Structure 1
Amino acid sequence: MEEVLIKTHQLTKRYGTVPVVNTLNLEVKSGEIFGFLGPNGAGKTTTIKMLTGLMEPSEGEAYICGYDIRKQATQAKALMAYVPDQPKLYGKLSAREFLLLMASLYRMPKDVSAKRAEMLMEMFGLSERADELLEGYSHGMRQKVVLASALIHQPKVMLLDEPTVGLDPASARLLKDVLQALAKQGASIFLSTHILEIAERMCHRVGILKAGKLIAQGSPEELRQTVGHDGESLEDIFLDLTGDQESDELIRSLEGDS
Structure 2
Amino acid sequence: MAWTQTLGIGHYIVCRAHRITGRHLEHLMALREHARIRFTLIVSGPPPTALTELLGAVAHHNLDNPEAAHRHLHTIHQPGPPSDRYAWWQPTPFPNPHDEPWYQLPPRPRHPRGHPGEITTSTRGTPTRLPSHDNPPPAITLTSAHHDVVAQRIHTRVANPVYAAAVAIRTLTGYGTDQLPQLLLPTPAEPRADLPAQLPAWAALLQDAARIYTDLQGYIRPDLPAHLSGANRPFQLTSWERNDVAHATETCRLITAPAPATRPNSPRRQRR
TM bin (shorter chain): under 0.3
Q: Which has the higher strand share?
A: 1
**Greater C-alpha Rg:** 2
TM-score by length of 2: 0.27
What TM-score do the two structures reach when normalised by structure 1? 0.28
**Structure holding more helix per residue:** 1
